[in-house]
Amino acid sequence: MPEGRIISAMSGFYYVKSNGEIFTCKGRGVFRKKKITPLVGDFVQFDKTNDQEGYIIKIEKRQNELVRPPIANITQAIIVSSVVEPEFSSVLLDRFLVLIEEKRLQPIILITKKDLATEEQLNKVKSYKKTYDKIGYTVKIISSKEKDNLSSLGGMLTNHVTVIAGQSGVGKSSLLNALNPSLVIKTDEISKSLGRGKHTTRHVELVEVNDGLVADTPGFSSLEFQEIEAETLADCFPEMRSKSHLCKFRGCVHYKEPNCAIKRGVDEEEISKERYAHYISFLQEIQARKARY
Protein backbone atom coordinates (compact mmCIF):
# COMPACT_ATOMS: atom_id res chain seq x y z
CA MET A 1 0.00 0.00 0.00
CA PRO A 2 1.45 3.44 -0.94
CA GLU A 3 2.75 5.71 1.84
CA GLY A 4 3.23 9.46 1.88
CA ARG A 5 2.92 12.71 3.80
CA ILE A 6 -0.01 15.13 3.75
CA ILE A 7 1.40 18.43 2.50
CA SER A 8 -1.87 20.39 2.22
CA ALA A 9 -5.51 20.13 3.23
CA MET A 10 -8.47 22.08 1.85
CA SER A 11 -12.23 21.57 1.79
CA GLY A 12 -12.06 17.95 2.94
CA PHE A 13 -9.35 16.97 0.46
CA TYR A 14 -5.87 15.92 1.54
CA TYR A 15 -2.94 16.31 -0.82
CA VAL A 16 -0.50 13.48 -0.18
CA LYS A 17 3.05 13.55 -1.55
CA SER A 18 4.43 10.08 -2.28
CA ASN A 19 7.60 9.36 -4.27
CA GLY A 20 7.57 12.83 -5.80
CA GLU A 21 3.93 12.64 -6.89
CA ILE A 22 0.90 14.38 -5.37
CA PHE A 23 -2.33 12.45 -4.83
CA THR A 24 -5.67 14.08 -4.01
CA CYS A 25 -7.17 11.95 -1.25
CA LYS A 26 -10.30 11.79 0.88
CA GLY A 27 -10.39 10.35 4.39
CA ARG A 28 -12.26 7.14 5.10
CA GLY A 29 -15.49 7.46 7.06
CA VAL A 30 -13.90 5.55 9.94
CA PHE A 31 -11.88 8.66 10.79
CA ARG A 32 -15.06 10.72 11.26
CA LYS A 33 -16.60 8.01 13.45
CA LYS A 34 -13.48 7.95 15.65
CA LYS A 35 -13.32 11.77 15.59
CA ILE A 36 -9.86 11.66 14.03
CA THR A 37 -8.92 14.42 11.61
CA PRO A 38 -5.95 13.91 9.27
CA LEU A 39 -3.50 16.79 9.63
CA VAL A 40 -0.98 18.41 7.34
CA GLY A 41 2.33 16.75 8.21
CA ASP A 42 0.78 13.35 8.88
CA PHE A 43 2.46 10.27 7.48
CA VAL A 44 -0.30 8.14 5.96
CA GLN A 45 -1.04 4.98 4.05
CA PHE A 46 -3.50 5.40 1.21
CA ASP A 47 -5.32 3.35 -1.39
CA LYS A 48 -5.03 4.65 -4.94
CA THR A 49 -8.27 4.79 -6.93
CA ASN A 50 -6.46 6.05 -10.03
CA ASP A 51 -3.16 7.71 -10.98
CA GLN A 52 -4.02 10.96 -9.18
CA GLU A 53 -6.58 10.16 -6.46
CA GLY A 54 -7.06 7.90 -3.49
CA TYR A 55 -8.41 7.31 0.03
CA ILE A 56 -6.40 7.65 3.24
CA ILE A 57 -6.50 4.27 5.03
CA LYS A 58 -4.19 4.78 8.00
CA ILE A 59 -2.56 7.66 9.87
CA GLU A 60 0.80 6.74 11.40
CA LYS A 61 1.55 7.65 15.02
CA ARG A 62 2.34 11.34 15.38
CA GLN A 63 5.55 12.65 16.90
CA ASN A 64 3.63 15.78 17.96
CA GLU A 65 0.73 17.93 16.85
CA LEU A 66 -0.41 21.52 17.15
CA VAL A 67 -4.05 22.53 17.44
CA ARG A 68 -3.71 26.02 16.05
CA PRO A 69 -2.33 25.80 13.44
CA PRO A 70 -3.51 22.19 12.88
CA ILE A 71 -0.31 20.42 11.87
CA ALA A 72 1.65 17.32 12.92
CA ASN A 73 5.21 15.97 13.06
CA ILE A 74 7.00 19.31 13.32
CA THR A 75 10.70 19.35 14.25
CA GLN A 76 11.10 23.06 15.03
CA ALA A 77 9.12 26.29 15.29
CA ILE A 78 10.02 29.78 14.13
CA ILE A 79 8.04 32.48 15.91
CA VAL A 80 7.96 35.71 13.93
CA SER A 81 7.39 39.08 15.59
CA SER A 82 8.09 42.51 14.15
CA VAL A 83 9.72 45.62 15.54
CA VAL A 84 6.95 47.79 14.07
CA GLU A 85 3.77 47.46 12.00
CA PRO A 86 2.56 45.74 14.17
CA GLU A 87 4.55 46.94 17.16
CA PHE A 88 6.56 44.33 19.05
CA SER A 89 4.56 42.65 21.82
CA SER A 90 6.49 40.67 24.43
CA VAL A 91 3.31 39.25 25.94
CA LEU A 92 2.17 37.91 22.57
CA LEU A 93 5.62 36.46 21.94
CA ASP A 94 5.49 34.75 25.33
CA ARG A 95 2.08 33.28 24.46
CA PHE A 96 3.55 31.69 21.34
CA LEU A 97 6.59 30.48 23.27
CA VAL A 98 4.41 28.80 25.92
CA LEU A 99 2.37 26.97 23.28
CA ILE A 100 5.50 25.83 21.44
CA GLU A 101 7.29 24.81 24.65
CA GLU A 102 4.26 22.75 25.71
CA LYS A 103 4.87 20.61 22.61
CA ARG A 104 8.57 20.35 23.51
CA LEU A 105 9.58 21.99 20.25
CA GLN A 106 12.70 24.15 20.03
CA PRO A 107 11.67 27.72 19.14
CA ILE A 108 13.62 30.19 17.07
CA ILE A 109 12.57 33.83 17.49
CA LEU A 110 12.72 36.15 14.47
CA ILE A 111 11.97 39.84 14.89
CA THR A 112 11.42 41.38 11.46
CA LYS A 113 11.15 44.84 9.86
CA LYS A 114 14.19 46.33 11.54
CA ASP A 115 14.63 48.45 8.39
CA LEU A 116 11.37 50.27 9.26
CA ALA A 117 12.24 50.94 12.91
CA THR A 118 13.55 54.08 14.57
CA GLU A 119 16.71 53.83 16.66
CA GLU A 120 14.61 54.02 19.83
CA GLN A 121 12.32 51.18 18.69
CA LEU A 122 15.30 49.06 17.68
CA ASN A 123 17.08 49.61 21.01
CA LYS A 124 13.92 48.56 22.86
CA VAL A 125 13.75 45.30 20.94
CA LYS A 126 17.48 44.69 21.43
CA SER A 127 16.95 44.88 25.20
CA TYR A 128 14.27 42.19 24.89
CA LYS A 129 16.68 40.12 22.79
CA LYS A 130 19.13 40.11 25.72
CA THR A 131 16.40 38.71 27.99
CA TYR A 132 15.57 35.87 25.60
CA ASP A 133 19.25 35.21 24.83
CA LYS A 134 19.85 34.74 28.56
CA ILE A 135 17.07 32.13 28.71
CA GLY A 136 18.77 30.22 25.90
CA TYR A 137 16.57 31.06 22.93
CA THR A 138 17.95 31.79 19.47
CA VAL A 139 16.86 35.34 18.61
CA LYS A 140 17.51 37.20 15.36
CA ILE A 141 16.48 40.76 14.51
CA ILE A 142 16.28 40.90 10.73
CA SER A 143 14.95 42.51 7.59
CA SER A 144 13.71 40.27 4.80
CA LYS A 145 15.53 42.66 2.44
CA GLU A 146 18.97 41.73 3.80
CA LYS A 147 20.44 38.73 1.98
CA ASP A 148 23.04 37.92 4.65
CA ASN A 149 20.33 37.43 7.28
CA LEU A 150 18.29 35.29 4.96
CA SER A 151 21.14 32.97 4.00
CA SER A 152 21.84 32.14 7.66
CA LEU A 153 18.13 31.60 8.26
CA GLY A 154 17.85 29.36 5.23
CA GLY A 155 20.46 27.05 6.71
CA MET A 156 18.32 26.60 9.82
CA LEU A 157 15.54 25.10 7.70
CA THR A 158 17.58 22.32 6.08
CA ASN A 159 16.39 18.81 7.01
CA HIS A 160 13.69 20.22 9.30
CA VAL A 161 9.92 20.43 9.20
CA THR A 162 9.38 23.95 10.44
CA VAL A 163 6.22 25.71 11.48
CA ILE A 164 6.28 29.47 11.12
CA ALA A 165 3.85 31.18 13.44
CA GLY A 166 3.15 34.74 14.48
CA GLN A 167 0.71 37.59 14.58
CA SER A 168 -0.85 38.68 11.28
CA GLY A 169 1.18 41.23 9.38
CA VAL A 170 4.60 40.51 10.90
CA GLY A 171 5.93 39.33 7.54
CA LYS A 172 5.80 35.52 7.58
CA SER A 173 4.82 35.17 3.93
CA SER A 174 7.26 37.92 2.87
CA LEU A 175 10.00 36.02 4.66
CA LEU A 176 9.21 32.80 2.82
CA ASN A 177 9.01 34.64 -0.49
CA ALA A 178 12.46 36.09 0.14
CA LEU A 179 13.87 32.65 1.01
CA ASN A 180 12.28 31.03 -2.02
CA PRO A 181 10.95 33.50 -4.63
CA SER A 182 9.40 30.70 -6.66
CA LEU A 183 6.75 30.24 -3.97
CA VAL A 184 5.10 33.57 -4.80
CA ILE A 185 3.05 33.40 -1.61
CA LYS A 186 0.47 36.16 -1.60
CA THR A 187 1.32 39.05 0.70
CA ASP A 188 -0.69 42.08 1.67
CA GLU A 189 -0.14 45.45 3.29
CA ILE A 190 -0.91 46.22 6.89
CA SER A 191 -4.43 47.40 7.51
CA LYS A 192 -3.61 50.85 8.93
CA SER A 193 -7.05 51.31 10.47
CA LEU A 194 -6.80 48.05 12.42
CA GLY A 195 -3.10 48.27 13.21
CA ARG A 196 -2.66 44.62 12.29
CA GLY A 197 -2.25 42.48 9.22
CA LYS A 198 -4.84 41.02 6.95
CA HIS A 199 -5.05 37.24 6.94
CA THR A 200 -3.38 36.53 3.62
CA THR A 201 -2.69 32.82 4.28
CA ARG A 202 -5.93 30.83 4.31
CA HIS A 203 -4.79 27.29 4.97
CA VAL A 204 -1.84 25.27 6.21
CA GLU A 205 0.53 23.97 3.56
CA LEU A 206 4.02 22.44 3.63
CA VAL A 207 6.32 24.01 1.06
CA GLU A 208 9.90 23.10 0.17
CA VAL A 209 12.50 25.65 1.24
CA ASN A 210 16.28 25.04 1.45
CA ASP A 211 15.98 21.24 1.50
CA GLY A 212 13.44 21.38 4.29
CA LEU A 213 9.68 21.66 4.64
CA VAL A 214 8.10 24.83 5.98
CA ALA A 215 4.48 25.31 7.01
CA ASP A 216 3.06 28.66 6.04
CA THR A 217 0.16 29.10 8.45
CA PRO A 218 -2.63 31.62 8.98
CA GLY A 219 -1.80 34.54 11.26
CA PHE A 220 -3.41 34.65 14.68
CA SER A 221 -4.86 37.50 16.69
CA SER A 222 -5.55 35.41 19.83
CA LEU A 223 -4.14 32.25 21.36
CA GLU A 224 -5.68 30.28 24.18
CA PHE A 225 -4.10 27.77 26.56
CA GLN A 226 -6.69 25.04 26.18
CA GLU A 227 -4.25 22.13 26.60
CA ILE A 228 -2.15 23.55 29.44
CA GLU A 229 -2.93 23.10 33.13
CA ALA A 230 -1.96 25.47 35.95
CA GLU A 231 0.41 22.86 37.42
CA THR A 232 2.38 22.47 34.17
CA LEU A 233 2.49 26.09 32.98
CA ALA A 234 5.88 26.79 34.62
CA ASP A 235 7.38 23.91 32.61
CA CYS A 236 6.75 26.05 29.52
CA PHE A 237 9.11 28.75 30.87
CA PRO A 238 12.65 27.29 30.65
CA GLU A 239 14.08 29.64 33.28
CA MET A 240 11.36 28.50 35.71
CA ARG A 241 11.50 24.84 34.71
CA SER A 242 15.15 24.68 35.80
CA LYS A 243 14.35 26.04 39.30
CA SER A 244 10.95 24.55 40.13
CA HIS A 245 12.46 21.59 41.98
CA LEU A 246 13.96 24.03 44.51
CA CYS A 247 10.55 25.17 45.77
CA LYS A 248 9.65 24.05 49.29
CA PHE A 249 6.21 22.71 48.37
CA ARG A 250 5.55 20.06 45.75
CA GLY A 251 2.95 21.31 43.29
CA CYS A 252 3.95 24.94 43.84
CA VAL A 253 2.49 27.16 41.11
CA HIS A 254 4.82 30.02 42.07
CA TYR A 255 2.14 32.54 42.91
CA LYS A 256 1.16 32.85 46.58
CA GLU A 257 3.13 29.98 48.09
CA PRO A 258 5.95 30.74 50.58
CA ASN A 259 9.56 29.68 50.05
CA CYS A 260 9.14 29.66 46.27
CA ALA A 261 12.37 29.39 44.27
CA ILE A 262 10.79 31.10 41.27
CA LYS A 263 9.70 34.19 43.21
CA ARG A 264 13.14 34.27 44.80
CA GLY A 265 14.67 34.13 41.33
CA VAL A 266 12.56 37.13 40.31
CA ASP A 267 13.63 39.08 43.41
CA GLU A 268 17.28 38.29 42.68
CA GLU A 269 16.81 39.32 39.01
CA GLU A 270 17.69 35.87 37.73
CA ILE A 271 14.21 35.69 36.18
CA SER A 272 12.72 38.58 34.21
CA LYS A 273 10.05 40.44 36.18
CA GLU A 274 8.12 41.02 32.97
CA ARG A 275 8.23 37.34 32.00
CA TYR A 276 7.07 36.42 35.50
CA ALA A 277 4.22 38.94 35.23
CA HIS A 278 3.19 37.28 31.96
CA TYR A 279 3.36 33.90 33.70
CA ILE A 280 1.01 35.09 36.47
CA SER A 281 -1.38 36.54 33.89
CA PHE A 282 -1.42 33.25 31.96
CA LEU A 283 -1.83 31.29 35.22
CA GLN A 284 -4.87 33.34 36.23
CA GLU A 285 -6.32 32.88 32.76
CA ILE A 286 -5.93 29.10 33.02
CA GLN A 287 -7.34 29.01 36.57
CA ALA A 288 -10.38 31.00 35.43
CA ARG A 289 -11.03 28.62 32.55
CA LYS A 290 -14.30 26.76 32.81
CA ALA A 291 -13.99 23.11 33.72
CA ARG A 292 -14.20 20.72 30.78
CA TYR A 293 -16.19 17.50 31.04
Residue 49 to residue 55: CA distance in whole angstroms: 7
**Chosen CATH of 66-216 out of 3.40.50.300, 3.40.50.11060, 3.30.750.210, 3.40.640.10:** 3.40.50.300
Residue 193 to residue 284: CA distance in whole angstroms: 31
Percent of the chain predicted with pLDDT > 70: 88
Does the pLDDT of residue 215 top 90, yes or no? no
Q: In Å, what is the CA distance from 3 to each residue of 39, 42, 44, 151, 283?
A: 15, 11, 6, 33, 42
Q: What is the mean pLDDT of residues 99-110?
A: 91
CATH architecture, domain defined by 230-287: Orthogonal Bundle (1.10)
From the list 183, 202, 220, the residue with the least C-alpha distance to 100 is 220
Residue 185: band (very low, low, confident or very high) from pLDDT cuts 50, 70, 90:
low
Question: What is residue 290's predicted lDDT score, i.e. its pLDDT?
Answer: 66
- pTM score of the predicted model: 0.82
Residue-averaged pLDDT of the chain: 86
What homologous superfamily does CATH list for 3-60? Answer: Nucleic acid-binding proteins (2.40.50.140)
- What residue ranges do the domains of the chain occupy? 3-60, 66-216, 230-287
Q: Which of 205-214, 242-251, 258-267 has the lowest mean pLDDT?
A: 205-214
Residue 55: band (very low, low, confident or very high) from pLDDT cuts 50, 70, 90:
very high
Residue 198: band (very low, low, confident or very high) from pLDDT cuts 50, 70, 90:
very low
From the list 285, 270, 284, the residue with the least C-alpha distance to 240 is 270
260-265 long-range Cβ contacts below 8 angstroms, 24+ apart: 262/234, 265/239, 265/240
Question: What is residue 218's predicted lDDT score, i.e. its pLDDT?
Answer: 57
Domains 3-60 and 230-287 share a fold: no
